[in-house]
Amino acid sequence: DQQVKQNSPSLSVQEGRISILNCDYTNSMFDYFLWYKKYPAEGPTFLISISSIKDKNEDGRFTVFLNKSAKHLSLHIVPSQPGDSAVYFCAASDYNTDKLIFGTGTRLQVFP
């Protein structure tokens, strides 16, 4: 049972354009959402998070949007840079268990 889904395994975007990564979840108990970025041979690093009481959180070039009714969140990167090329994981936390559930990841490639 995949509670957090990232349906696009890969995304290719030109440098300077917007990258939009999507994530869907099924568990209505999730109340805290995070995005992690992973380079090859490294562990995931925290990028940005959002609480269920908000619908948007912005940090520099990164913005996360949350649509609770649709159980959907997205990560926008503007402008995209070649250094953003990595695998991005969406994760969600259940306030009952505090367990962090990860999606399968989306590989972003930003080309010049």
Binding site for other proteins (CB under 8 A): 4, 6, 32, 34, 36, 41-46, 49, 89, 91, 93, 95, 97-105
Q: Smallest distance from the beta carbon of 10 to other proteins, in angstroms? A: 11
* Closest CB 91 distance from other proteins, rounded Å: 8
Cβ count within 10 A of residue 73: 24
Residue 63 or 106: the one with the smaller Cβ distance to other proteins is 106
Cβ proximity to other proteins: between 69 and 99 the closer is 99
Q: How far is the CB of 103 from other proteins (least distance, A)?
A: 5
Between 68 and 79, CB nearer to other proteins: 68
Which residue in 112, 110, 109, 90 sits closest to 100, CA to CA? Answer: 90
Burial (CB < 10 A; 0-12, 13-18, 19+), residue 61, is middle
Question: 23: closest CA among 42, 8, 13, 45?
Answer: 8
If the CB atoms of residues 77 and 91 are measured against other proteins, the closer one turns out to be: 91
Dihedral of the CA atoms 32, 5, 65, 26 (nearest 10)? Answer: -60
